[in-house]
Every structure is written in C-alpha cells, then in structure tokens.
C-alpha cells in the first residue's frame, strides 16, 4: 500500500463549540492507481489533503507513506518524500512567474541541492557556488521547457509566457499549468484537489489527458472531484467521504450507484452540475 491513513480524527473549535470534521477515518491508497475521493461540500476532503501534505498538524491518527510514518514532517519534508499537490482554486502563486512556479517543484529533487562541499563561507566556495547555482537554475529552466513541450507541443504559447506572473493567467490555464508543474518534481503520489472545477470543457479535455499521462508514468493519484462523468472516466477506484469517514469504496459504478450515495450526495450534485 502506498499511503495509509489510520484512525484520523480532527476537530475544529469555533464560536459554537467543537466540531469533529474527521472521525477515525481509515483509507488505503493503492500504488499505481487513480483513486477519486468524492463527497459533499464541507465534508473535509481538502482538510484531508492538508493532513496528508503536512499543512494540518493537530489531528490524531497515523499517516503512513511507503511504510514510513510521516505525521511530524513539514510540508516541504513531505514533498521531498514524493507527495505533490494541486491546490484547490487559483493554483499558481500570483506573484511568481510561470517559470518560478514550476521551479518550486524542482527543489524537491536531490540533484538540485547545493552540494555539501560548497556550503563553507570561503571566498572561493562563494564563487563556485554562484556558478553552480546558475547551472542549477539553467537546468531547472530547461526541464520546465521540456515539460511544457511534452504536454502542449513544441510551439505552445506558454513557452513565450515563462516570465508572465501567475496572476496573469486565466483560471483554467492556472489549473493546467499547475498540473504541468507537478511533472517538475520527483513525486510518486499526487494529490489533486478538484482539477476540473470551474474549468471550461476545452481545458477539462486537456486536464484529462494530463492526468492520464501522469498515471501512464506510473504515478499514483488521489483526486477530489465533483464532476462525476470525469470520475467515471478516469478513476480506477472511488471512495466516498461522509460524516468524517470513508463510507463506501469500490469501482465508480459501484459507489456512484449506491443508494445512500445517490440520496445524500448525487441528488444534490445533479442539480449543481
Ligand atoms: N482551519 C479551519 N478552522 C475551522 N474550520 C475549518 C478549517 N478548515 C476547514 N474548516 C471547516 O471544515 C469543513 C471541511 O472543509 P473542507 O475540508 O474544505 O471541505 P471540502 O473540501 O470537503 O469541501 C468546512 O466546514 C470548513 O469550514
Ligand atoms: Mg475542498
């Protein structure tokens, strides 16, 4: 098993007391598969991603990734273990350029770390480091260009937009380009939070293609998604979150045809989608 969540419990306290959002949740994510996490708004799906990726620390239970307990690692420590994430909403950092956004993921690769011997503060080490640092930045840029070429073809317009700020891209482009950025890291598990939400059909098609490519490269994918057509199309397995727990899991057909899922979730979704 690639990722195991054991007995995850998390409560938020607010003005009206304490609210248990996740309640002894258990989930196993199988290596090499696309698993869709579905459930109503506010059921704790993004919160669960925050827990896995180290942003939400005050839960109880165990998070085990590749047989290693990762509860106490920082978000960047967890990224270096091989877990990448697409954030919900406008997903490029607005004040960084496209290239800078993409380079962020490359920092998870050991090949881009400053070599140990160059860390001493001698004048010569300083000179070598700046040269080495330049080489590293150039390699990262070459890699970003290669990723964009692979995904969007050799003459894609994003090559001309490497120095455009994240905030200047449309919402749909931000989703696409954030997914592209994930190819820069050495991730083996990708957490994708609503990749298609609010995105027009042309981009949804491209997002489907990109996620299939990720899976084709052997990456394990856990995605939160409300577009049930997309889920049926792409997911090997579906898990349904409600009342703080995974209530059902199975194939898309099994879970989405389940009467309880239909009553409490899909009834609402069919109106909103
Ligand atoms: N830091 C927080 N403090 C208090 N409540 C929170 C916090 N983060 C999320 N919540 C609440 O937890 C619930 C689950 O949120 P979320 O995980 O974003 O839901 P989903 O992604 O399933 O729509 C929501 O009711 C939300 O308001
Ligand atoms: Mg969410």
Per-residue model confidence as pLDDT tens digits over 203-233: 999 999 999 999 999 999 999 999 999 999 9
Q: Which residue CA neighbors atom 9 of ligand 1 most closely? A: 47
* Position 22 in a domain: no
What distance in angstroms lies between residue 98's CA and the mean position of ligand 2's atoms?
24
- What pLDDT does residue 13 have? 87
Pair type for strands 60-65 and 3-14: antiparallel
* Position 123 in a domain: yes
Q: How confident is the model at residue 271 (pLDDT cuts 50, 70, 90)?
A: very low
Task: Assess whether pLDDT exceeds 60 at residue 268.
Answer: no
Q: Which residue CA neighbors atom 4 of ligand 1 most closely? A: 12
Task: Assess whether pLDDT exceeds 80 at residue 269.
Answer: no
More confident residue, 271 or 51: 51
* Position 131 in a domain: yes
Structure tokens belonging to residue 28: 């196993």
Residue from 42, 52, 86, 239 whose mutation best tests the ligand 1 pocket (most atoms within 8 A of CB): 42
* Position 175 in a domain: yes
Q: How confident is the model at residue 133 (pLDDT cuts 50, 70, 90)?
A: confident
| Full domain range(s) for residue 148 | 92-188
Starting from the CA of residue 44, give the closest ligand: 1
* Position 20 in a domain: no
Are 58 and 2 in contact by the 8 Å Cβ rule? The answer is: no
Q: How confident is the model at residue 272 (pLDDT cuts 50, 70, 90)?
A: very low
* Position 146 in a domain: yes
Number of domains forming the structure of the chain: 1
Provide the CA 235 distance to its chain's centre, in angstroms. 15
Q: How confident is the model at residue 89 (pLDDT cuts 50, 70, 90)?
A: confident
* Position 179 in a domain: yes
Closest by CA to 201, choosing from 158, 167, 230, is 230
DSSP code string of 209-238: HHHHHHHHTT-EEEEE---HHHHHHH-SEE
**Range of lowest pLDDT (38-47, 98-107, 112-121):** 112-121
Task: Assess whether pLDDT exceeds 60 at residue 117.
Answer: no
Residue from 11, 15, 21 whose mutation best tests the ligand 1 pocket (most atoms within 8 A of CB): 21
């Amino acid at each position: 098993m690639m990722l195991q969540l054991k007995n995850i419990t998390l409560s938020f306290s607010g003005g009206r007391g304490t609210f248990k959002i996740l309640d002894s949740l258990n989930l196993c994510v199988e290596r090499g598969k696309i698993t869709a996490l579905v459930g109503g708004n506010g059921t704790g799906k993004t919160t669960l991603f925050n827990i896995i990726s180290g942003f939400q620390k005050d839960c109880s239970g165990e998070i085990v990734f590749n047989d290693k307990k990762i509860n106490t690692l920082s978000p960047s420590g967890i990224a270096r273990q091989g877990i990448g994430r697409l954030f919900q909403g406008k997903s490029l950092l607005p004040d960084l350029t496209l290239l800078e956004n993409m380079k962020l993921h490359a920092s998870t690769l050991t090949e881009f770390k400053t070599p140990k011997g160059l860390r001493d503060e001698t004048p010569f080490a300083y000179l070598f480091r700046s040269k080495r640092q330049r080489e590293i930045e150039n390699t990262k840029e070459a890699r970003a260009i290669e990723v964009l070429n692979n995904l969007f073809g050799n003459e894609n317009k994003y090559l001309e937009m490497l120095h455009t700020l994240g905030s200047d891209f449309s919402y749909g482009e931000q989703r696409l380009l954030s997914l592209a950025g994930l190819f820069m890291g050495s991730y083996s598990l990708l957490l994708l939070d609503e990749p298609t939400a609010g995105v027009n059909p042309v981009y949804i098609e491209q997002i489907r293609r990109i996620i299939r490519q990720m899976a084709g490269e052997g990456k394990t994918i856990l995605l939160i998604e409300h577009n049930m057509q997309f889920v049926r199309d792409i997911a090997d397995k579906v898990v349904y979150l409600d009342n703080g727990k995974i209530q059902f899991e199975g194939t898309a057909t099994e879970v989405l045809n389940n009467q309880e899922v239909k009553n409490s979730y899909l009834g609402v979704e069919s109106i909103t989608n």
